[in-house]
Structure formats: C-alpha cells, structure tokens
C-alpha cells in the first residue's frame, strides 16, 4: 500500500500551497493597501494612534527595565528614555491630530534632507547609475517641499498614503516572489 505523501496529487498540492498561500496573502495585502491609500485620513489617524500606543508601551517597558538594572551605570539613561517615550506616546494618544502634524513635519524634513544628500552624493561621485539616484533625490526633495508647503493639511493624508503604499507594494513583492517560487518549482519538477 503506497503512502499518501508519496502520491503525485499530494506533491502537486504541496507545491501549490508553497507558492499559492503567499500569492493569496499578497493579493489581499494589495487590496488592503489600496483601501488604506483610498482612506488616507482614516489610515493616518489609526497609524498615529497605533504608533502612540506602541511608544507608550515601550516607554513603560524601558522604565521597568531601568529599575530592574538600577545598579547599572546606564540607569538614568534608560529611565529618562522610557519617560520620554511614555510621555510622547501618551500625548499622541490624547492629541492624535497634533501628533499627526508633528510626524508630518518630521517626514517633510526627512524627505528633503535625504533627497538633498542623495542628489549631492550622486552628483559628486558620478558612479554607475548616478542619474537614477539624482532623479530619486530630486523627487524626494520635491516631495518634502510639497508636504511642507501644504502643511498642516498634508498631515491628514501623507502618513496614510505612505502606509497604504507600503502595504500595497509589500503585497506586490509577495505576489512577485510567489510567482518566482512557482516558476522555480515547475523547473525543478521532473
């Protein structure tokens, strides 16, 4: 009597599950990303509340850690870091719109500074593919200026749009990876 695990149908189902599950999860992430992108204001508010809760929780944990190791020379550093995380997290939970405006300013500064750095580096070094890095730097600078010029209105959509885009492209990467896995499994199957 042949075992079930050696039958051709079982092998086909196993191969299908290997690439099919990440494929379906990737498609679901793409749909979720499009939804998050389409409801950017709601996604922004949810993201800030989740971020504030995580920051507050990490602050509590860092304070507990500081007191567990109070004999350490870094006790004060851990304690102050934990208090800062806790206070900022609680403020984001109590005032999510102010937290959203603050995070938007930080994002605008990050886009501008990273674009400036990337653009200058690509112009100075002229390495292989430097034109693409220059282009990416200019787009990043433009994005930073755009977000800053529309602030505080941009605070309502930028975080949600970035979260939605990240979820969508994570889904795209999962779908692409699962299709590549399927191609490899087909090539390896006699």
In a domain, 11, yes or no: no
82: in domain: yes
Among residues of the chain, what percentage have pLDDT more than 70?
90
Average pLDDT over residues 127-152: 85
Our count of domains for the chain comes to 1
pLDDT bin (cut points 50, 70, 90) of residue 1 is very low
Identify whether 32 is part of a domain: yes
pTM here is 0.66
Going from the C-alpha of 166 to that of each of 26, 84, 103, 117, 173, the distances in angstroms are: 12, 28, 17, 23, 10
Q: Is the pLDDT of residue 5 over 70?
A: no
The answer to whether position 5 is within a domain reads: no
In a domain, 3, yes or no: no
Q: Are 39 and 160 in contact (CB under 8 A)?
A: yes
Compute, in degrees rounded to 10, the torsion defined by CA atoms 126, 114, 176, 159. Answer: -160
Only one residue has tokens 């500074």, namely 113
Residues spanned by the domain of 51: 18-185
Position with higher pLDDT, 72 vs 164: 164
Interatomic CA distance for residues 157 and 107, integer angstroms: 12
Q: Does a structural domain hold residue 190?
A: no
31-90 residue pLDDT tens: 999 999 889 889 889 889 999 999 999 999 999 988 888 787 888 888 999 999 999 999
């Amino acid at each position: 009597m042949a075992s079930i695990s050696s039958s051709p149908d079982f092998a086909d189902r196993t191969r299908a599950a290997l690439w099919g599950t990440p494929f379906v999860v990737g498609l679901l992430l793409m749909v979720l990303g499009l939804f998050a992108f389409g409801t950017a204001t709601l996604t922004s508010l949810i993201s800030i509340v989740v971020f504030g809760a995580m920051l507050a929780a990490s602050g509590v944990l860092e304070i507990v850690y500081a007191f567990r190791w109070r004999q350490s020379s870094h006790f004060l550093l851990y304690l102050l870091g934990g208090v800062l995380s806790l206070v900022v997290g609680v403020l984001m939970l109590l005032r999510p719109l102010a937290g959203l405006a603050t995070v938007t300013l930080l994002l605008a500064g990050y886009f501008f500074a990273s674009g400036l750095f990337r653009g200058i580096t690509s112009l100075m070094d002229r390495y292989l593919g430097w034109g693409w890095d220059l282009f990416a730097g200019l787009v990043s600078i433009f994005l930073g200026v755009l977000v800053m010029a529309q602030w505080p209105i941009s605070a309502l959509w930028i975080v949600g749009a970035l979260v939605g885009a990240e979820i969508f492209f994570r889904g795209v990467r999962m779908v692409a990876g699962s299709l590549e896995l399927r191609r490899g499994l087909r090539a390896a199957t006699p």
